[in-house]
């Protein structure tokens, strides 16, 4: 018995970015399975920039004692 494939074409112009992303992930998960989906996403989501340098630039250098003191003050201790 031959199987028949049904092709549905949707107007992507009417979809939001989130809808396109969601549909794409659903299709990938269905066709590749969970592990294949994860492997596919890992190929394209490497990020960019230098996280370590950006963190140094943004966050002040603090000792553990300074961080502990801030936590205690925020808790009202």
> Residue 77 and residue 72: Cα distance in Å, rounded?
5
> Residue 37 and residue 50: Cα distance in Å, rounded?
26
Q: Model confidence at 31, in pLDDT bands (50, 70, 90)? A: very high
Q: Can you tell me whether residue 65 is helix, strand or coil?
A: helix
Q: Model confidence at 72, in pLDDT bands (50, 70, 90)? A: very high
> Helical H runs in 1-77?
17-44, 51-58, 64-75
Is 60 exceeded by the pLDDT of residue 59?
Answer: yes
Confidence (pTM): 0.46
Q: Which residues of 59-74 are buried (b: 16+ CB within 10 A; e: fewer)?
A: eeeeeeeeeeeeeeee
The mean pLDDT of 21-50, rounded to a whole number, is: 88
Is 70 exceeded by the pLDDT of residue 2?
Answer: no
């Amino acid at each position: 018995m031959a199987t028949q494939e049904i092709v549905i074409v949707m107007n992507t112009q009417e979809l939001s970015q989130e809808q396109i992303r969601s549909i794409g992930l659903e299709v990938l998960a269905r066709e590749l399975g969970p592990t294949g989906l994860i492997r596919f996403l890992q190929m394209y989501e490497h990020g960019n920039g230098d996280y370590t340098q950006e963190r140094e630039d943004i966050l002040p250098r603090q000792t553990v004692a300074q961080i502990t003191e801030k936590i205690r003050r925020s808790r009202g201790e």
